[in-house]
Amino acid sequence: MTNETQDVRLDIHLPAPEAADLTSKAAAKGLTTPEFLGYHALRSAYGVLHPRVAEIEAKDVLGRAGTDSSKG
Task: Report whether 8 contacts 15 (CB < 8 A).
Answer: no
pLDDT at 40: 94
* C-alpha angle 52-55-56 in degrees, rounded to nearest 5: 90
Position 68 in a domain:
no
pLDDT at 51: 94
Domain that holds residue 31: 18-62
Domain count, the chain: 1
Position 55 in a domain:
yes
Task: Report whether 52 contacts 38 (CB < 8 A).
Answer: yes
pLDDT in tens, the chain (72 residues): 555 789 999 999 999 999 999 999 999 999 999 999 999 999 999 999 999 999 999 987 765 555 555 665
DSSP code per residue over 31-47? --HHHHHHHHHHHHHH-
pTM above 0.75, yes or no: no
Position 27 in a domain:
yes
pLDDT at 2: 56
Position 46 in a domain:
yes
